[in-house]
Chain A
Amino acid sequence: MPASRMWRDHELKESYDVVIIGGGVHGLATAYYLTKLGVKNIAILEAKYIGFGGSGRNTAIIRSNYRTPEGIAFYDHSVKLYEQLALDLDFNVMFSQHGHLTLAHNERGVTGLRERAHTNQLMGIDSRLIQPREIQELCPMMNVFGPQRYPIQAALYHPPGGIIRHDAVVWAYARGADRGGAHVHQLTEVNDIETPNGAVSAVVTNRGRIKTGIVLNATAGYASTICDMVNIPLALETHPLQAFVSEALKPWLHHVIVSSTLHIYISQSDRGELVSGAEVDDYLSYSLRGTLAFAEGGATHLLELFPFLANVKMLRQWAGLCDMTPDYSPIMGPVDEIKGFYITVGWGTYGFKAGPASGHLMAQCIQSGKTPKMLEPFLNSRFLRDQLVGEKAAASVSH
């Protein structure tokens, strides 16, 4: 089916029941699940084109072997929704659950992984600590026993983890939302949000003004910009995260490999390209340009694990914007200050894998007006209550 017919263009209506800002996986999934709950008069406003931001820039890794019970329950909900997504949306999202390995290169790393394995198992997640011999069996091409600056001591093995085609997920949710009656508005930028008397009343865009009682900020890279319009301070800072792909190779890597000591993660896409990313750049920036320092560093670390890749060419590199919170957990739900204003922001380096769960729960939250239990730990008010959700198993935590 041609892309133009997957979702239709519409004139901006004068009013909508719900206006979702951000046409990425979070916004589109929320719209889709809202239409399933019977809320159909929805606008999704995207400043560029859908999937332009984080949804098209992530490395498409799906997993639930996190560290905190709150995080594990949440990401597991997402993995379960992803497992049913192709069926649910009638679209091949190319989800390959081929297993996920997190490497430890020192004693402290092993202790951390052991703790995660135990917490995961208590929460019913398929996750266990494995020794170098089993790592080598699973991944024969990896330099497990050869000379290494940081020898591999153990790994956390998470069989349901894997990769997905992120564009397909975005398109499928957009089509699902469109079929459910929602309007996807691309090239529609939000300039202001009107909140007289402490409640949302309208959204002002470059294409006109929309009356609405409910607004969801589902943006990344613009989370602070949108929240500034309604004077909601956020506990997050935007940092770029860079990634690259290699030329296509025959299939040889059948797992996602992650090493926080080497600041690298790598997987092989169905097209044969190696997809590899790093941790976030350590200073605030909204720039989407790549750096030579990253290309050099990424290649160096990759070669420690896979020396035979020395002659493989890097095809392209890019950056995405990660809204980093101090506890590496997202911020979701209504805000106390303004009635009808909801947020699902602060998705740092873990946004794409959470898209379905975030959409599913935010839709329930908006439709019912009650915060689902699974969302409660992630409310914006947690910072002022000093009750953080320290998710030290996020991709960017390696210091």
Chain B
Amino acid sequence: MSLQLNCPNCGVRPVWEFHYGGPLKSRPTQDASAEAWTSYIYHKPNPRGDQKEWWYHRSACKLWFLAERNTQSNNVHTTQRFGAEESK
């Protein structure tokens, strides 16, 4: 199913204007093991449900922002600038 995203800069736009940037993950610390870093790079949570994830507004304002989306229904619950309050 297609979907629309509410870009914090540009407002509601169709998904093909955007690039999906993968799930929001926390980076291992500098002194973490090689295994922890390899897992960080390759392993994906891949949930059937809600996920907080990165999106990039490729065809317009070039903003990287965060969205919370249900991967089964494709409903986008919220979008926000990184580190900002939720915009909608």
Contacts and interface: CB of A to CB of B under 8 A. Distances in A.
Interface of A: 222, 224-225, 233-238, 282-287, 289, 291-293, 326, 383-384, 386
23 contacts: A224-B45, A224-B46, A224-B47, A224-B48, A236-B46, A237-B22, A237-B46, A238-B46, A284-B20, A284-B23, A285-B1, A285-B72, A286-B48, A289-B1, A291-B1, A291-B2, A292-B2, A293-B16, A383-B38, A383-B43, A384-B35, A384-B38, A386-B38
A282 B73 contact: no
Which of B23, B35, B48, B51 has the largest count of A CB atoms less than 10 A from its CB? B48
B51 to A, nearest CB: 7
A232 to B, nearest CB: 10
Most chain-B Cβ atoms within 10 A of its Cβ — which of A224, A238, A284? A284
Nearest to B44: A237
A384 B35 CA distance: 6
A284 B42 contact: no
B15 interface: yes
Contact of B48 (A225, A235, A282): A225
Nearest to A232: B43
A284 B53 contact: yes
Contacts of A235: 42-44
B78 interface: no
B80 to A, nearest CB: 18
Contacts of B9: none
Contacts of B46: 224, 234, 236-238, 284
A234 B44 CA distance: 6
A326 B42 contact: yes
A250 B56 CA distance: 45
A347 B35 CA distance: 24
Interface in B15-52: 15-16, 19-20, 22-23, 35, 38-39, 42-48, 51
Contacts of A233: 39, 43-44
B72 A286 contact: yes
A77 to B, nearest CB: 26
Contacts of A384: 35, 38-39, 42
A256 to B, nearest CB: 27
Contacts of B1: 285, 287, 289, 291
Given A235-B43, A284-B71, 5 more contacts: A234-B46, A238-B46, A284-B51, A293-B14, A326-B42
Contacts of A293: 2, 14, 16
Nearest to B72: A286
A236 B22 CA distance: 11
A286 B71 contact: yes
Question: Which residue among B20, B35, B51 has the maximum number of chain A CB atoms within 10 Å of its CB?
Answer: B20
A237 B46 CA distance: 5
A291 B15 CA distance: 11
B42 A383 contact: yes
Nearest to B35: A384
